[in-house]
Every structure is written in C-alpha cells, then in structure tokens.
Structure 1
Amino acid sequence: MTAGTALGAVITTAGAPASLQAQGLSGKLALAPEEFADPRNVVLRATVAESRTLKSQSDGLITRFDCIPGGVWKSGTVQMWVDGEPLVSLTLDAPLWRPLSIGAEGEDVAALQKELTRLGFPAEDDGEFGWETAEALSGMWAAIGRDDKEDIAPADTVWLPAAEATINSCEVDAGSPAVSGDPIAELPPAAAMIGLSTVPEGLVAGERELAIGDVVAPVDMDTGDVAKESLASILASPEFQAFTQSGGDGQLTATLRLSTPIEIATAPASAVVIDGELECVVAGRKTIPVDVVASSLGSSILKFSSEIPSSIELTPSGGARCS
C-alpha cells in the first residue's frame, strides 16, 4: 500500500452527533501500518567526458568477435580472436606497449603482476619478470585456451581501462580485418559526476538512493553525488543514453528515496496533538509520541517510536498533552 492513499477506517463513537459521524470528525481511526520511502522526483546534474574507444593492437583477420551493445567485457576473458588465436582483454595501468618475457623489468611488468594476482594467478610484485610471473602468465593463457605460452605482447591483448567495461557499440564484426590502432568497440564516457541539482526540503532522515530506470544507486546526501561504483551502470542505462543523445538539452530525472523504507501510519491532521515542540496522538487513555514526517492536503504521515496502535482518537480533546 502506498502511503497517503488511505486514511484508515473511521470507527464512530455511538454517542457522537450524527452530523459529526457523517463528516468523520468524531470517533476513532483504525491505523494501517505502511512502508514509506519518502520518494521525491528530482532532476540530476551530470558532468560527462568523451566516450572511450577500444582499439585493436593486432593485425590479421578477426575470426570471432563476441561483442554486443550493453555487454560487459571483463579483464582476463576473451571477446576477440584474430587468425584463430584468442586475445585476452586485460586491465593495466596503460596499454601494453612492448613484449614482456623473463628478464623484463619496469612499471609495466609490475602492473601485469598486479593484475595477474588479482585474476587469481599469483605473481611476484617487484616489477621483475621472473619464473613466478611466467608461471602465472602461463596459467592465465591456459585458462583462455592458449597452452605453452609464458610471455605476452601487445598483439596478444585488448586493453581495458577498468576491470569491467560496458560496451556502447561494436565497430567491427567477425570476418573484418584487424588493423592495429583501429577502433573495435566504443565504451561509455570515461568519467562522470552525477548528483542532485538541488536537495529537496523536508526529507525524512536516513540513507538514500536514486532510482534511474532499473538502476538503483546510493547517494551521498552531504554532497548530493551518486556513489562512484554506480556510475558505470547509470552511464549504460537507456535513460542516460537518451539524455546524452539529446546533447544535454533534456533533463535527467530520477526518484530519490530512502534506502530502507520506514513504517508509518497515515491520519488526518486533526488526530495529531501539538504540545509545544512535541507531537503525539491519543490511543485510549494514553498519549503516544509521533513524528510528523510529511503532510499534504490535511493528512499527516506519522512515524511511531514504538509499535503502531490499532486505532487512535480522531479528534482528541483540547486538554490532551504530549508530555
């Protein structure tokens, strides 16, 4: 049930005047607990860099190309075969620029060792290509179908800028020539900052998330920015693609809501006693503290610090106090 769609059932008091019973201004109100996420429609700000291009580092004939828009390429896997040989998609600090084998030293070796270890093939971490690195590399090659190989060259790889990359478009097909330096696929923009244009007023306290189509992303309410780990999913969403295709002329909208909904009950404003800075409702002979987390058109959304009572007084006496 959506908060605000019902006020509960009015249980009239037998002795109340018929005119008040008919108006629902006297008696008790049966409360129905509901979940409330305080959803707000918001406009987002987005700062986007240019799209990125994956390029071939091999020459030959593309004999297989497992590429679909929206697909995800992961480091350590294969999506492209040239002249029948699988090329490993690999995340390094920079594209591999020279062949590496036993005896090689340098930052590129250290980057390779780090990625091999992350992929589950332990290697040294000293920037020196030794036997342990050769064995790790051999294990990676064997896992993707290339045996008896303990070295690596630029032509063996497709460089990925991140451990996972979502594909925007595929630029070649199986049967096309592979030409070193030519584009093979396009990725979403390299960098983006997405957040709230303005923070709505009167938000219920609590951690919040943004829902953009099917994508749900945590948002830092101190800065209004979406969590960085969610940017790739947002950038690949149809909603964001439509926004970028508009040239930024349209609006990127989302729903801002509580990550964990709270339990509330809805009642007419007349049921709430305001006693200085305190707010409460009356159930039987007790007053129960509440927080009015939202109100609209004479209805109040109430959060209880304890169990929600089954019913409350619809119009408490004027002498009711919350303390």
Structure 2
Amino acid sequence: MNYLQHAREVLDIEIAGLEKVKNEIGEGFEQAVEAIMATVDNGGKVVVTGVGKNLHIGNKIAATFTSTGTPSVLMHPIEAMHGDFGILGDRDILLAMSYSGASDELIALLQPVKRKGVKIIAMTSDPDSPLAQHSDIIVSIKVEQEACPFNMAPTTSTTATLALGDAMAMVLLHARGFQIEDYAKLHPGGAIGRTLLLHVDDVMRTGARCATVRTGLPVRDALLAMTGAKSGCVAVVNEDNTLAGIMTDGDLRRHLITSPNLVELSVEEVMTPNPITLTKDVLALEILNIYEKHNIDDLIVVDADNRVIGAVDIQDMPKLKIL
C-alpha cells in the first residue's frame, strides 16, 4: 500500500465533502444564526448535543462558541435523561447534531425539549428524519461519502459538521460585533490572554533597567550604560531627554570590524537615528508584531513629547510568558 497516496485520497474525499456543504449552505444556516443571536440577546445560551462522534464534535463547537462570545455548553443526551436536563434553561436554544437524524438517544431527548418550549436547531443530512421533523430549524450537512472504505465510520460527515460549526461561530462573532478586546477578556490565562491584556506599560523596563546615554558621549559610556542595565540596547537622548536614536548590540557588532577605535566614537556615529518607538498604551500583542515585521529585538518607549520613559527587550518576553 502507498500510505501517502491513500492519505491524500482520504483528504480529497473530505475536501469534496466540505465543498458540497459550502455550496449548499442556505436559509437554514441564516435562520440558525438569527435564532442564536436572539437567544443570547435574551440572556440564554446554546446547548449542544449529539451522540457518538458527534458528541465530541459538539464539545469542540460549544467551546468555540463560548470562547468567541456566544455562551454555550455541551449536554450528553443520555445523561440529560437522568438528571442533566437541568443544563437546558427556558431561554436557551438546543443545537442537536445527528448525520442520520435518527439516533434513538437523541430522538428520545426531543420530546422533553419541546415540552419545555425550547427551540431546536438540527444539523443533519436528512430533512425528513425524526430529528428534522421535531426541529424548528434545519441546517444541512449532507456529504457524498465518508472517507471510510465501508462508508460507515463518521469521517467526512463529522469534518463537515465541525467546519459548519466553526463557520457558525465566526459568523456570530462578526454579527455580534465581538472585538479582540472581548476575546482577551475570555482568555485571561495563557499566552493569548497575556498578549491581549498586557500593555507596554506592564512589560517595559524603567529606571536603572532602561539604559540611556546623552548625545555627544563616546560609545564607551553607552557600553557601560548597557552593561549596568543588563540590556541589549541603549537609548541615545538629547539634553531634554527626547529620543535621538538607539544603539544596540547589533550596531556594535556591525561597526566593530570597520572601526578598531569603536569605543572612542561618538554614539551618534553608531546609533540608528529615528528608531521605531512604542507608547505605553500599546498592547503587548503589537510588540510581538513589530518584532516579527521589522526583525528587531529592542524598542524604546516614549511619551507624547518623544521623551524616553522606558524600553522593551525581546529577552523579557519569555519570562512574561507572552512569547
């Protein structure tokens, strides 16, 4: 067997399934988005349920919803019939997933849901299935074939269900005006939260840890300042503390070959004038973007009058767990 070729064939089948779902997405999807928006605006949440592989897919969809501003939770249909039905509130909406639309465990759940007066969104391939017939909104996930050679194991269908769930979450994110600041509030831990919640003011070096040297002084003094601050750069400042330039370890290495008397040169001869700067209110995420875009390791922080108030060194980023 050619393993790689077979793997590519499986992926081709799943890609074809996604293309079919994309091309056939329609009114049901729009209705589902609008119903979910109305539910959330009314203080409710999306309760996701499914059986077998769809339960695992549903867990991921619920997590994506919640992390992008649409409150959601997973409900196991069997456990729901034995006490967990309390997860479903009167203001909620149920997103029920079954490719065949005929899973007994899921169908058994629908009657108590209907008695509760909760709307049901069905994600299924069969519009005539028991699930579809008991639902208020039908979102089609029909694919041509599973990637399984017996056309049995849920593969293409679960991929399509997951992708459609992602599409729904992203459409809801956009429709509800969810911003990156909102995303940060929902991710307070880990690198994502830190880069979106921390500002330059939280991570910059100040005082003795921010190396500065006056214009007109020799490189020797700049080196002493960098060594004392344990910094890879020094801000070159004018008499009024406004920024004139930056001198980095890289500048020193580049001049060392051509300037044997490097330490005697004035800092103006070695520094980079008018460097990229930051203000203290910039998000930490933007620091990382600047590092990557401009391939630099050190940034000077200035105030509204271009006076130096601090510095940000890339070597501090791992310690702050934002790199």
Give 1 or 2 for the bigger CA radius of gyration. 1
TM-score > 0.5, shorter chain as reference: no
- The higher relative CO (CA closer than 8 Å, separation ≥ 6) is in 1
TM-score calculated relative to the size of structure 2: 0.25
Output the TM-score relative to the length of structure 1: 0.25
